[in-house]
Every structure is written in C-alpha cells, then in structure tokens.
Structure 1
Amino acid sequence: MNTMIQRILFLIFFFCFFLNFAQVKISGKVTFKNKGVSEINVTLKDTYDGATTDSEGNFSFETSEKGNHTITFVHSKFNEIEKKIFIEDKNILVNAELKEQINEIDAVVVSAGSIEASDKKRATALLTPIDIYTTAGADGQISSALNFLPGVQKVGETEGLFVRGGTGSETKIFMDGSLINNYFSNSVPGIAGRDRFNTSLFKGNIFSSGGYSALYGQALSGALMLESVDLPDQSSYDFGVSPIFLNGGFQKLSESKNYSYGATAGYSMLSLMQEVFNFNTNFIDAPQGFNGDANFRLRTKSGGFLKYYGMFDSNKLGVKTESLEPDYDFALVKLKGKNTYHNLSFKQKFGKYLLNAGASYSYNQSDLNFSTEKNEVESASNQVLNDGNYINFKAVLDRKINKISALRGGFELNNASEKMNFGDINKNFKDLISSAFLETDLGFSNHLSAKIGVRAENSSYLNKTNIAPRFALAYRLAKDWTTSFAYGLFFQNPESKYINSSANLDFQKSQHFIFQVQRSTEGRSLRLEAFYKKYDELIKTQNIIPNADQNQQVQTAFNNNGNGFAKGIELFWRDKKTFENIDYWISYSFLDSKRDFLNYPVSLKPNFAAEHTLSAVAKRFFPEWKTGFNLSYTYAKGRPYYDIITQNNENVIRNEGRLKDYNALNFSINYLPNLGKKDAKAFTIFVLSVSNILGTKNVYGYNFSQNGSRSSAVVPPVNTFVFVGMFISFGVDKTQDAINNNL
C-alpha cells in the first residue's frame, strides 16, 4: 500500500513539475505604424513553440524552454524581426514594431502619363505585338494601334502621333534608347506615311503621353520607347504573302545559343487593290516599295548584350487630282523616297553599375515633284528635294541604391545635317544638340515612391541652352488603388522644315501637369487621368512663295511669340476577366486646346485636335475553331479647319469651319490552322481585315485655291479597305504563344 501511495505521489510531483515548465507564457502585440497587424508568425527560434497574431495583432503561447532564446516575427510584407529574451519561471511580455519590406513586386510605381507594355507587373495597358496584330483597324502598325489608347488624336491626313493637343512632330520615338529619325515612310500631302519598322521587331513598349523621364528630350508632348527583341528561342524561316505585299526572312540561332543573326526582305504594291476597290485617290503611280533589314544579337560571357539592327527602304507613288486653279485641269504630285537606318546598342553590368549605350544613324531622301496639267501637257513643274543625315549617340549609367531606388545619369548627342532645294530656297541646315541628364528613383516605402530628374540641352544652331526639371510622385491609396502626380518642363527645337531664312529663334517650351488614379487587378485595369499643358515660345510663321510663277507655298519661321494650352480628362478600362475568352478595352478623351502658333493669326483650336474621342476594342478567341474575331470602333468629334493666307505681311483667316464627325468600325479575323498538331515545327496564321466596314465617308480637312473660291476635301485613299494575308514560320511553332496571348 505504501509503495502504491509513493508512486501516486511521485506522479503528482512529476506532473506538477512538468506543468511548472509549461506554464511560462510568452505574449505581446505586433504593430505597424501603431496599428495591430494580423497573420504575423511569432516563433521561438529553433523550437516548435509559437503562434500567429490575431486581428488586433495580439499573440500568446506557452513554452517549457529555459534560458537565453530568440523570438522571431515573420511576414512576407515586412522585414523579419528578432528579439533576444531570457526565459525563467515568469511570464514574458514581448512587443514588436514592424518595418515594411520594400520590394519591386509590391512597390508602387510612378505611372502618370505612361502606358507600359514591357513589364507586365507595372503595366496599365498592355499593347504587345500580339495585341497590335489582332487589333482591328491597326493594320499591324504600332502607331495605328496607339490611336485606340486615350490621349492620341485620330489624324489621318498625315503621319505622326498627335498627343494631347500636340502636333505629330512633338512626339518622338526611340529604339533601345536611341532616337529614331524618320520613323514613318515618305509620303505626299494628304496621305499619311506608314510605319517603317516591323512590329515583330519589338518585344515591348512604353508610351508616355506626358511627364516622361529626363532620359528623353526634344519632345513637347510625348515619347514612345520601343524595346527590341533579344535572342530568338530557335532558328526559323518566315514568309508572308498577300495581294499587296510579299516578304520573307530568317533568324539563325547559334548552337551555343549566345548569338543570332537574321535578315528579311519585302516588296509591296497597291496596283492590284486599285483594280478591286473604288479608291478616292487617283494614283497615277500606285504606291510601291522595297525594304530589307538585317540584325545581329550577341550575349557576352559576362551577361551583357550587344544588338545591331539595320534597314533600308525605298518607295514611290504619284497622285493626280482636279486642279483648284482655273488655269489648269489637273494637279499632280510624284514622290520618290529612300531611307536607311542603323541602330547599335550595348548593355553591360560592371559591378554595381549598369551601362546602357547606343548609337543610331539615319539617312532620308525625299524627292517631291509638283506639276499641273492642261490638255494632258505638264507645265509649271516644281521640285522639292530633301536630304537628311542624322546621328544619335547616348550613354546611361545606372546604379541601384536598394531594391526600388536607383540613380542614373548620362549624356546624349544628336546631330542633324539637312539640305533642301525648292525654287529660290537652297537650305543647308546643321545642328548639334548636346544633352546631359540625371535622374533618381526614390522608394520611400511600398506605398510611396518618387522620380526626380533634370535634363540640360544645348543647340549649336540656336546657340542657346535650356534646363528642364522633371518630378513625379506615386502613392498607394489601397490594395489595388494608386495615384500619381507628374510635373515636367520640356523643350524642343523649332522644326527644321520651317527654318528657311535667318531668324533669331529659341527653344519651344511646354509644361506638363498630370494627375492619375488607377486600379489594377488580375485581368482588369481602370485608369483616370487629368492633365494640363502650357505652351510657350512656339514658333510663328508666314507663307512665302519661292518663285513668282509657282503655286506652291512654304511656311517660314520668323519668331517665337506663339503660345497655347491643352487640358482634358481621359478614361481607360481594360477587362480580360469578366467574359470567357474575351478581351476588350474602352478609352475616352476630352480635350480642350488652343494655340497661337505657325501661321495662326490668333489663338485657335488646332485643326488636328478633336474635343471628344471614343474608342472601343473587343477580341474573342474560339480555341475549338482556332479562330479569333476582332472588332474596333473609333468616334471623334469633328475637328476645325482653316484657310489661312498672308496679306500685307499679316496672316488672316479666309475660310473656316468644322469637319463632320469621324466614325469607323473595323473588323478582322485571324485563323491558326496548326493548333493541335503535336511536335509541329511550323506556325501559320491567316488574317482577314476590313477597315471602316460600314464605308463611312470621313473627311480629314480641305484644300483651297489661291483665291479661296474653290475647295476640295482631304479624304482617305479608300473608304473601305480589305486586307487578306498569310504568314508562315518554319522551324518554330508559335501557335500556343498566340493562343495564350489571345485568351
């Protein structure tokens, strides 16, 4: 009996002894900015003891450990905290104040004024090559696809990106950081030139409609930064055929997969389509052109990248219209154009520094011949011959301060040499623009970041220097909501085509104020933006006639007394999630703009600016049919037009009015017949595209006779255009990539 009692007393003693160890309680509260934080893992290091904080940030757990220990506080969005404690027989109270973990994925990004498609986690609206090719009405051109984004005006009579009340020349285009001079093909008045560059050449883009980085300059309105593709996945051969063009090319990847080279060539001719469609434009020489390009890409052993791209194209066309002058029956214009462009870029990391350097060379020749016809006899022939050589060099050194902060700086040289012969005008224009810039990204937290920069430029022609500060701030309002503000000062030389005589000119100047609110979730993006732009020192011109017996006039700059403003609001909504296999976006722009520039006698609404612009794009892909159906629609309020002449050395408005509203509904189909073929080593896509399917008769403007008594409308070359084409790639199957990008 005594033995039994002794055993029971021993067990009770042992149990109490055990409880004594387990009764040490560790508790506390975890806070961030004086507020409790839930879901924080609290652990006694190197043990299984711990707990998770509740909704108020409180935690509590018991341990039998004794002595010196470390307690840890862990959460993916906060920096890990460790605290030393000494465990005795008393309960322990441990509180912790967290610090936010700053990282690239969670950090808010400055996005006011920009739409990026090179880094999906930062994108507000993705326009990848597949997006561009499958947007009905874009004709596979980057510039045309951008017309379906907010801020870009629908201007069909001339090439260029007309952004937020700015002219087409006020938006510059860059490739791998280097300026592209003459991005668009040569053309004649009233017909817009096309993109010279193949959309497939680029893997992404950043389109800034204002407030852009200090790394870029000489653009009063916006910048389009294009990033070329790297090494291909494997070697391939490509062919394209349609009634209007034939092209082919190849890409060869080395066995080591550290370098590649390739080339393409193509020929285009519109004469066959003239036989099928009723063109508004009477092409006496149907548009035709030849183009070719070559590329080389090398990944260095140290992880750097060297890229070369070179291209050449030539084109010609001739247009015949009824003459507005009573002495002649017809007016004719013929064009012969040549262009070459070369781009070399290098990227390499040296320790903590990243070097981006690039150089480009461009040569462009445009030979325009204006003439009139009377009884089928040419007379009064005028020739405008332009030659231009352009060299650009740029170097940027970038150093990361931490995960989301960086400092970068560099310099840029842009040299232009142009010649023009037109009547009594024999121009030899030369200018070297030297630039230096410094910019920093400051990440204060995952909720607050800023970009501060400054750019200085000197023009040898103007013999003047400018300094342009830039500033942007972004703040996360809630989980999916961010807001951004951007301010910038921007300078641009007067366009050389208006410099036909000596004048004391200065830089043109604009100031941008941009406020944005954005909500981005998986598959959906909403963007609201308000902006105000102030223009100063815009050039003023007068019309001059090079020879007394010639009908053609040119505008010549004589001072910088112009000014203006542009203000408005924009909406962009894109949704890939709500409807199965359907991707759609809607954009709306309201623009209020006035300018006193060029030959405007007073401050006027620019003839390229529509007050209201609405675009909608919808894409539906049917995997079982291997087919995608695409629709797009654009509406633009009628733009103003003016007939401005020079009388007694003063500009006066002789005729003015407003164009009819612009409407265009576009439709396209793309068919992928290779879907389902296992181990397929070829990719084929058939495309059918119909632009302005309803045949709306849009008008872009009016031409007037010298005395103002007669006028003619500037209209598209054809109201409705149908494109049919087939594209084949051998050696690589891109089918699944195309499907994934459409779903």
Structure 2
Amino acid sequence: METQSKKLLFLISFLSFTLSFAQTKISGKVTYRNKGISEVNVTLKDTYDGATTDANGNFSFETSEKGNKVLTFTHPKYIDVEKPITIENQEVSINAELKEQINEIDAVVVSAGSIEASDKKRATALLTPIDIYTTAGADGQISSALTYLPGVQKVGETEGLFIRGGTGTESKIFMDGSLINNYFSSSVPGIAGRDRFNTSLFKGNVFSSGGYSALYGQALSGALMLESVDLPEQSSYDFGISPIFLSGGFQRLSDSKNSSFGATLGYSNLKLMQEVFNFNTNFSDAPQGLNADFNFRIKIKSGGFFKYYGMYDSNRMGVTVESLEPGNDFSLVNLKGKNTYHNLSFKQKFGKYLLNTSASYSYNTSDLKFSTQNNEIETGNTKVLNDANYINFKAVLERKINKISALRGGFELNSTSEKLNFNDFVEKHYKDLISAAFVETDLGFSNQLSAKIGVRAENSSYLKKSNIAPRVALAYRFAKDWTTSFAYGLFYQNPESKYINGPANLGFQQSQHYIFQVQRATDGRSLRFEAFYKKYDDLLKVKNLPFTDGQNQYIQTADNNGGYGYAKGLELFWRDKKTFENIDYWISYSFLDSKRDFINYPFNLKPNFASEHTISAVAKRFIPKWKTGVNFSYTYAKGRPYYDIAAKDVNGESMYYIRNEGRLKDYNALNFSINYLPNLGKKDAKAFTVLVLSVSNILGTKNVYGYNFSMDGSRNSAVVPPVNTFIFVGAFISFGVDKTQDAINNNL
C-alpha cells in the first residue's frame, strides 16, 4: 500500500512538472497602414522564443513561458514596438501596427534643379573633383566641367555660368557659404577668363540650375556652392610642371593632427605655346599670370573647426586685331588685372544646434587700354580702370528636429564698393550694402515624402528697396529607386553695376522658377529628366549716354526696369558606371526655348548666348593594369543667334534697332585626354605622380562664337577661339603621400 502511494505521488508530481512546460501558442499579424509586413522579428523579450512574419505579416510560435511577458516587434525600416501579454494555458492572439523608421539613408531627398557631388553623395555624385580633372576638354576647371551637364550653355567668348537662358552674371558661386566675387580672372572682349580657384581646393559641390535654397540670393538663374577640403591626412609637397606653367606647394599637418597649414605658388605663360601653335588670336603680349595662396585649418577641443583660405592673382595680356574702321590698320587691347580673396569660416555644434559662419573679402582691379594703330603709331586711346572691394558675412544656425528634419535661419551682409574711371571723362563710385535674412526648414514626413520650405528677405541700400522671396520644394518616392521632385521659387538680383553710370529709378530684377524632375538612382547608374519654366520681370534696360569729349561717342547706362522674358525647356541626363567594366560615361541633352527684352534689345529676342539644342557625351576608360585613364568628351550645340544692335536718334531720343543679324554655325568639339600614374622611385615610397596629355578639339573644327561689327555696320570680323586645337602636356607630383590607390579606386 505504501508502495502504491509512493507511485501515485510520483505520477502526480511528474504530471505537474510536465504541465508546467506545456507549450502555449502565440500568433498574430503585423501591419503598416493596414498592409502586412514581412520579415518582422517577433520575440518574447528576454527569451529565445519567437518567429518571423511571412509575406502577409502573419506570425506564430509556441512557448513554455508563463505569466506577464513582453512581446517585441523589430524591423530595420520601422520603429520598434513592445506589447505586454499574459501567458496562461490558452492561446494568445495579438496584432501590431508599426510606424515607419525615418532615417537619412532611406529618406527621399529634394533634388529638383540641383546636383550634389561630395563624399557624402558618392553613390549618386555627378561631378566630384576627380571627375573634373579627368573630363577631357574641361582643363581642370570646375566651370568648364559643368558645361557637360544639362542646363549649362557652352559660351566660349566670355566667362560665367550661362544657365537655362540666363546670362553669365545671373549665376553666383559660393565657397563655404560665402559669396565669391570675381571668381574668374580679368579678361578682354572675346576671350573668356579662367577659374581663379584650384579644383583640388574643394572636396565637394552642389550645383543648382534653378530653385536653389533660401540661404543664397542675388542670382536669377542658378548657384554653385563649393565646400573646401578639411584637414589633410598627412603632410605633403606638390609640384606641377608643363610648357605653360610651373607650380609648387605644401601642406603641413601638426603632430596632434588637429591643425594644418599650407601654401602654393604658380606662374603661367602662354608665349612658348604661341610659338608652337597657329593661334587665331594675335597676342602682342602673351597671356601670363602669377598666383599664390595660403591656408590653415584648426580643430579646437570643443569640436569647432576653423578654415582660412587666402589668395593673390595677377594676369596680363595684349591682343592686336585688324581694325574694322577705315583709316586704322589695327585695334589693340592691353589688360592688367589683380585680385586678392580671403575666406574665413567657422563651424561648431552647441548641443542640438549647429552654427556655421563665414566671412570673405575680395579686392579686384582691372586696367584695360583700347587703342588703334595706323602706320605703327597708336591713336585714339581709351582707358577703363575698375577698382572694387567686396565684403561678405553670413551666419546660419541650424537645429535638427529629427533624423531628416531640420530648421535653420540666419542673416547675410554683402558690401560692394566699385570705382570706375572711363577715359577720364566718366567717373563713378558705386556703393551698395545688401542685407538679407532667411529661414528654411527641411520636413521629412516619411521615407517617401519630404519638403524644403524657405523664405528670404533682402534690402539694398543703393536701390533703397526690399524684397521677399518664398521658395518651396517637394520630393516623393513613388517606386523603388524612382523619385519625383517639384520646386518653385522667387529670385531677385540687383541690376549690373557696370551699367549704372548716373541717377536712375531702378529696382530689383526678378525671376520665377518652376521645375519638375523625375529621377532614378541605383548603384552606379543615374537617370534624370527635368522640365522647367522661368519667367523674367523687371529686367534692366539701358540707353546711350554721350561722352563729354566731343567725339560723338557713347556708353550704355541704366535707364529702367522695363525688360522681361522667359525660358523653358527639357533636360535629360544619363550616367552609367556599372554596365561596362572600368568604363564611366554620361550623356546629357538640353532643349531651351528662351526670349527676352533687356539691356539694349529693341524688342523680345532669342538671347545671343542661348542655344536651342545642346548634346554632350563624356566617356572614361580606366585600365588598372596600366594605371592609365583614357578620356573623351564631345559637345554639339545648335548655332546661336547674333545681332548687330545700333542706336539712332528719333525725336531727340536714342532708339535701338537691329542693323545686322543671323545665326552662327553649329558648335562641335571632340576632346581627348590621357592620364598615367607611373611608379617613380622605390616601390614603398610615399609619392604620387600623374602624367597628363590633353588635346582639345582634336578634329580642328573652326568654331565661331560671334561677330564684331564696324561703327557703321558695313564690315565685320568673327569672334573665334584663341586656337582651334590645343595640346597640353604636364606632370603633377606629390611627396609625402601616395594617392595612387585612391586615384585608381575613384576611377573604377
């Protein structure tokens, strides 16, 4: 009996122990906006029990746990959710509704009208510094490389970014947030100035062909925002040598790696190449220039970062052309130009706030002398001397709202002081202070929808007027890798100061931008389609102002803001770095329909700087085994219109009319370059060398940029490039750092 009792007691204990480990089923469904989500990890907290949802969001698993527990739901694209449950002996059914996890990687970015190229955007970057250096025909210049993107016109006779039917002065360039005045070197009529700034100075850029941020102003067409490099990885010395220039520089990194300083010096002279090539331009004084710069970078203990860059640049040249006027054999132009630029910026985080400040100063002088020559005797001298000082200051305070939303605001001051002496008969001193305040917010509603909304207000002390410019942009991801963006903005700009030679009732010029974009971006490929419409109002109109020297000569001077116009078009861009091994290529197409009545146009005309159709193609083939890159580029632009606009007296009023007009021949240019990375010195030596051979317009196409006309309009001469085909050979050497592998990786 006692034995049976023991057996019964053991059986009861065993059953109780077994029941304590009985499995309880837990099931349910996980949804987002009433749709099931797959691949969600459902776990009983602090246990190994759980499951993963199926394609419909359903899950089911069994557990032996009892009592009050917590069920967790996790997925990389959604916010984690925890739900309390009580497990007894009956089945538990529980559902969960997740919310999207908003993050910088998955969030759609507003991109209508803009192209960003930087380390942060390397997957979709369109023009990194290595792109600019290796684009055949760009000559290592940022502004030249941008002409291979849609929306930028190829205008060879004058400097500037001609964007979507806008003049070269309607686009502005910024460095670390601060305006760069006189980005291009001084020039003579018919020969464009070059970039003053070295491409290697910048680590990234944002190029906007319209609808740009409220942080920037005084540009009717577009803006280029450049970001300078940070601390170097290590100290180095650099040298460059070619038949047209010599350069040398260094960067010194401190032992603590929290600061650096550096400098460069360069000299260029085209005289040797003038002897070798058959130049179209007769340089009586070959173009030559001297440039020097100094920089420092300091990272302070609190995390703040100072950057300084200062440069000095001088250039000179003389040009002699056959005179179009009877009684004179030649016309001569001589130029002497000097420029200095200084930029200091500071960035610092204060808790949830980020402060960006920048200040710049620029001084520029241009001394032009026009004369005629008859029997080797100079006559009819005309002098134009321009001295200008510019000061810019900007402060921006930003606060992050969440991972993809932010609010920023600030102010900007832009001071201009220009002195002009025209032949000792016209003297002026133009002064203006433009004060601006702005506020802007990035709103991330979800990973599929975002917006950028801003407003900018400006006041001009010269015009004694103010403006308010609202700007808004939206972006929506409608499918994987596919996004669409829309941007609208109002933009203001002062009339060009070179036309302001006396009192005039002037106001701001303005333009309205409407931009629609569809983009597909995947790893190694990018496709962009963009349509735009720009409306111009209050454009500057000029009139003839007679000299007081009795020679019946005139200069153009500002009259009113009665001008207007429009520009509309379609653009396509395709870049592919993936389809063909070690080959990177892109194709861009722009259609532009533009008309405007401004400056001295007698009525609404197609601008003489706007081509209806532009096609560009760039191809780069890097051969790792040979450490060699082979690059081609091609540009076609439909011939631009040209006008000979003259003035006549009508009832005591000077009226403009078209005396001669026509269309230029279509522009064509095929360019080639090759860059080789040789191994010099010991195998493990810290040195980097690039040998470059570049040939522009290898087919020797005789392009024409426009025509000059005589005083009476009966004779003309073509404006052509200084040389049809140009060959450049150079070597660039760095000591102290081996960038060979980086260069190879960037080309792949």
TM-score, normalization: structure 2?
Answer: 0.97
Structure 1 alignment gaps of length 5 or more: none
TM-aligned CA deviation for residue 345 of structure 1:
0.5
Paired with 1:123 and 1:623, the residues of 2 have a C-alpha distance of: 21
1:546 paired residue number? 547
Check conservation: 1:109, 1:122, Cα contact below 8 A.
Answer: no
Corresponding residue for 1:653? 658
Q: Which AA in structure 1 matches 2:81?
A: I
Shift of 1:350: 1.4
SS in structure 2 at match of 1:739:
helix
Task: Name the counterpart of 1:372.
Answer: 372
User: Which residue of the partner structure matches residue 526 of structure 2?
Assistant: 525
Deviation (angstroms), 1:123: 6.6
Whole-angstrom CA distance in 2 between matches of 1:258 and 1:242: 35
SS at match of 1:230: coil
Q: Report if the CA contact (8 A) 2:118-2:125 is conserved.
A: no
Report the counterpart of residue 255 of structure 2 in structure 1: 255
Tell me, what secondary structure is at the counterpart of 2:297?
Answer: strand
Q: Is the 8 A contact 1:674 1:735 kept in 2?
A: no
Partner AA of 2:249 in structure 1: G
Match status 1:341 vs 2:346? no
Partner of 1:741: 746
2:604 maps to 1:603: yes
Alpha-carbon separation, structure 2, partners of 1:722 and 1:518:
37
CA RMSD of aligned residues (A): 1.9
SS at match of 1:314: strand
Change (3 A) 1:676 1:311: closer
Q: Is the CA contact (8 Å cut-off) linking 2:123 and 2:523 kept in structure 1?
A: no
- For 1:124-154, what per-residue CA distance to the aligned partner results, in whole angstroms no more than 9, with x for missing partners? 4421111100000000000000000010000
The residue identity in structure 2 corresponding to 1:595 is R
Pair 1:636-2:625 in alignment: no
Q: Which residue of 2 aligns with 1:567?
A: 568
The alignment status of 1:406 with 2:411, answered yes or no, reads: no
State the Cα distance separating 1:122 from its structure 2 match: 7.8
The alignment status of 1:274 with 2:274, answered yes or no, reads yes
Q: Which residue of structure 2 lines up, in the alignment, with residue 682 of structure 1?
A: 687
Q: Which residue of 2 aligns with 1:130?
A: 130
Q: Which amino acid aligns with 2:90?
A: K
Q: 1:543, 1:645 within 8 Å by CA — same for their partners in 2?
A: no
Alpha-carbon offset, residue 369 of structure 1: 0.3
Q: Does 1:69 align with 2:66?
A: no
Change beyond 3 A, Cα 1:638–1:615:
same
Query: 1:119 and 1:214 mapped to 2: Cα distance?
Result: 24
Is the Cα contact below 8 Å between 2:517 and 2:531 reproduced in 1? yes
Instruction: Give the CA deviation at 1:555.
Output: 2.2
**Would the aligned equivalents of 1:172 and 1:222 in 2 still touch at CA under 8 Å?**
yes
Matches within 5 A, 1:218-617: 218-423=218-423, 424-546=425-547, 554-617=555-618
Alignment check: 8 A CA contact 2:124 2:524 kept? no
Q: For 1:648-691, what per-residue CA distance to the aligned partner results, in whole angstroms no more than 9, with x for missing partners?
A: 11110001110000000000000000399643211100000000
Q: Report what 2:696 is aligned to.
A: 691
1:108-187 matches, within 5 Å, as 108-121=108-121, 124-187=124-187
Give 3-state SS (helix, strand or coil) of 2:479's partner. Answer: coil
Query: For the residues of structure 2 that align with 1:553 and 1:591, how far apart are their CA atoms?
Result: 34
State yes or no: 1:705 paired with 2:701: no
| Counterpart residue type for residue 494 of structure 1 | P
**Equivalent residue number for residue 53 of structure 2:** 53
User: Shift of the alpha carbon at 1:547?
Assistant: 5.3
Contact preservation (8 Å) 2:111, 2:485 = yes
Q: Which amino acid aligns with 1:307?
A: K
Q: Is the 8 A contact 2:119 2:203 kept in 1?
A: no
Give the equivalent residue in structure 1 for 2:675. 670
Q: In structure 2, the residue corresponding to 1:477 is in which secondary structure?
A: strand
Deviation string 1:392-421 (CA, Å, 9 cap, x unpaired) is 011111111111111111100000000111
1:296 and 1:276, CA in 2 relative to 1: closer, same or farther beyond 3 A?
same
Contact 1:422 1:546 in 2 (8 A): no
Equivalent in the alignment of 2:212: 212
How far residue 13 of structure 1 moved from its aligned partner, in angstroms, is 9.5
1:327 CA displacement: 1.8
How many residue pairs end up in the alignment? Answer: 742
Quick one: which amino acid aligns to residue 430 of structure 1? Answer: K
Q: Tell me which amino acid in the other structure corresponds to 1:673.
A: P
Post-superposition CA distance 1:422-470 (Å, at most 9, x none): 1321111000000000011111111111111000000000000000001
Shift of 1:15: 7.7
| Structure-2 change in CA distance of 1:459 and 1:287 (3 Å) | same
Q: Could you report, residue by residue, the CA deviation over 1:525-566 in whole angstroms, capped at 9, with x for unpaired residues?
A: 111111100000000112445356669753211000000000
1-structure distance, mates of 2:733, 2:742:
15
Give the letter for the 1:644 counterpart.
I
> Does the Cα contact within 8 Å between 1:488 and 1:512 map onto a contact in 2?
yes
Q: In structure 2, what is the Cα distance between the partners aligned to 1:78 and 1:551?
A: 77
Instruction: Look up the SS of the partner of 1:133 in the other structure.
Output: helix
Unaligned runs of 5+ in 2: none
Residues 547 and 323 (structure 1), Cα distance of their counterparts in 2 relative to 1, 3 Å cut:
farther
Report the residue type matching 2:388 in the other structure.
G
Change (3 A) 1:553 1:728: farther
Any idea what SS the aligned residue of 1:214 has?
coil
**Per-residue deviation, 1:715:** 0.4
**Compared with structure 1, are the counterparts of its residues 741 and 547 closer, same or farther at alpha carbon in structure 2 (3 Å cutoff)?**
farther
Shift of 1:523: 0.6
Q: Deviations over 1:80-113 (max 9, x none)?
A: 0000000011101110001000111111110110
Percent sequence identity over aligned pairs: 80
Task: For residues 225-270 of structure 1, give each alpha carbon's deviation from its aligned partner in whole angstroms, at most 9, with x where no partner exists.
Answer: 0000010011011000000000001110000000000110000000
Over 3 Å counting, the alpha-carbon distance change for 1:507 and 1:21 in structure 2 is same
- Distance (Å, rounded) in 1 between the aligned partners of 2:388 and 2:104: 43
The amino acid that maps onto 1:514 is: I
- Given that residues 544 and 555 in structure 2 are in contact (C-alpha distance below 8 angstroms), is that contact kept between their aligned partners in structure 1? yes
CA contact (8 A) 1:441 1:452 kept: yes
2:702 is paired with a residue whose SS is coil
Contact 1:664 1:694 in 2 (8 A): yes
1:730 equivalent to 2:735? Answer: yes
Per-residue CA deviation, residues 578-615 of structure 1 (Å, 9 max, x unaligned), is: 00000111111110100011100110110000000000
Secondary structure of the structure 2 residue equivalent to 1:526:
strand
Q: TM-score, normalised by structure 1?
A: 0.97
Three-state SS of the structure 1 residue aligned to 2:153 is coil
Q: Do 1:317 and 1:336's aligned partners in 2 also have CA atoms closer than 8 Å?
A: yes
For 2:286, the aligned partner's letter is A
Query: Could you tell me whether the CA contact under 8 Å between 2:680 and 2:687 is conserved in 1?
Result: no
Structure 1 range deviating more: 203-212 or 22-31: 22-31
